[in-house]
């Protein structure tokens, strides 16, 4: 396979960062590019969700741009190069797939996941806590899911689903008490506990909380747009009862489409 375009792309990034390059690109740092990395990854995910291959190709290019920019900056600082990044990834993939590149026998996806986690644990032997390795920058729901799963692996689990429901209801009661105290900090703390407990309920039922909320967001947005389409006057002029009726109308209209 010919990687001419990839090699030329790496050269383009180096040129953009050179003294004769682009003023914007030259002043970027790992920190300044941080929001771009997150934004481009989410846009690629949007393209996947829309099953839009043309858009996905474009967004993967934008994700690759971030990888190359960070690698170029690191190279200029004497930290590492894109070749180092590629080699480390290659070595890791080979090591974590002994059933492909070695003699191990694994014949199921679950077996692959188990082997991956064991090999990963061996590589990260320096980690002491079950909580080590959780990204602090990822979406809060994703982080909550990972924290919960790590805790469960060492036996920290509710005895049954009913006890989990009781935990969630107790968190709601504690939040209500905090609202009566008008203590904003306490309210935020208790609301966070509600969300964390709810994420555990999702995990218990093998539901991805992040994906569930994303779908709920899209559903709400779709219904709201339909409300705007069906409205006979500005929405700001609707009473609560009119809003409720319009919402139900929009919901029914979408089902019938």
CATH number at residue 184: 1.10.287.1080
Question: What is the Cα–Cα distance from 103 to 235, expressed in whole angstroms?
Answer: 65
Q: Does the residue 20 lie in any domain?
A: yes
If one compares 105 and 76, the residue with the highest pLDDT of the two is 76
Q: Does 131 score more than 70 pLDDT?
A: no
| 3-state class (DSSP) for residue 181 | helix
Token pair recorded at residue 2: 């010919």
Neighbours of 4 (CB within 10 A): 7
167 and 198 fall within a common domain: yes
End-to-end CA distance of the chain: 47
Which of 93-107, 117-131, 151-165, 240-254 ranks highest by mean pLDDT? 240-254
R_g over Cα of the chain? 25
Mean pLDDT of 57-77: 97
Span of 71-75, 76-80, 137-141 with lowest mean pLDDT: 137-141
| Cα–Cα distances in angstroms (integers) from residue 77 to residues 48, 83, 139, in the given order | 35, 15, 30
Q: Does 125 score more than 70 pLDDT?
A: no
Q: Does the residue 88 lie in any domain?
A: no
Q: What is the pLDDT of residues 169-180, one digit of tens each?
A: 999 999 999 999
Q: Does the residue 58 lie in any domain?
A: yes
If one compares 76 and 3, the residue with the highest pLDDT of the two is 76
From the list 228, 148, 238, the residue with the least C-alpha distance to 196 is 148
Q: Does the residue 239 lie in any domain?
A: yes
Q: Does the residue 134 lie in any domain?
A: no
What is the domain extent for residue 19? 4-80
18 and 69 fall within a common domain: yes
Q: Does 166 score more than 70 pLDDT?
A: yes
23 and 51 fall within a common domain: yes
25 and 47 fall within a common domain: yes
Question: What is the Cα–Cα distance from 167 to 223, expressed in whole angstroms?
Answer: 32
Q: Does 228 score more than 80 pLDDT?
A: yes
Q: Does the residue 64 lie in any domain?
A: yes
202 and 145 fall within a common domain: yes
202 and 170 fall within a common domain: yes
Count of domains forming the chain:
3
Average pLDDT, the chain: 90
198 and 223 fall within a common domain: no
Q: Does the residue 106 lie in any domain?
A: no
Q: Does 156 score more than 90 pLDDT?
A: no
167 and 233 fall within a common domain: no
9 and 73 fall within a common domain: yes
235: which DSSP letter? G
3-state helix, strand, coil split of the chain in percent (to 5) is 75, 0, 25
Give the per-residue pLDDT at 188.
95
Which of these three, 80, 103, 124, is where a domain ends? 80
């Amino acid at each position: 396979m010919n990687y001419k375009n990839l090699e030329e792309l790496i050269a383009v990034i180096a040129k953009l960062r050179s003294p004769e390059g682009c003023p914007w690109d030259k002043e970027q740092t790992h920190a300044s590019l941080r929001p771009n990395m997150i934004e481009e990854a989410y846009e690629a995910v949007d393209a996947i969700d829309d099953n839009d291959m043309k858009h996905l190709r474009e967004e993967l290019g934008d994700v690759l741009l971030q990888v190359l920019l960070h690698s170029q900056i690191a190279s200029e600082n004497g930290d590492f190069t894109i070749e180092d990044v590629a080699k480390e990834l290659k070595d890791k993939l080979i090591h974590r797939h002994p059933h492909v590149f070695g003699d191990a026998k694994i014949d199921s996806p679950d077996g692959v996941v188990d082997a991956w986690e064991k090999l990963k644990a061996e590589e990260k032997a320096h980690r002491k806590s079950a909580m080590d390795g959780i990204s602090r920058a990822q979406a809060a729901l994703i982080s909550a899911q990972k924290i919960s799963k790590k805790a469960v692996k060492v036996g920290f689990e509710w005895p049954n689903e009913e006890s989990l429901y009781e935990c969630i209801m107790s968190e709601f009661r504690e939040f209500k008490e905090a609202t009566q105290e008008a203590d904003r900090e306490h309210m935020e703390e208790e609301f966070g506990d509600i969300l964390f407990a709810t994420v555990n309920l999702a995990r218990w039922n093998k539901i991805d909380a992040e994906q569930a909320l994303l779908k709920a967001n899209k559903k709400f947005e779709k219904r709201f747009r339909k409300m705007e389409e069906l409205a006979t006057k500005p929405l700001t002029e609707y009473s609560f009862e009119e809003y409720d009726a319009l919402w139900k109308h929009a919901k029914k209209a979408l089902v019938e489409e």
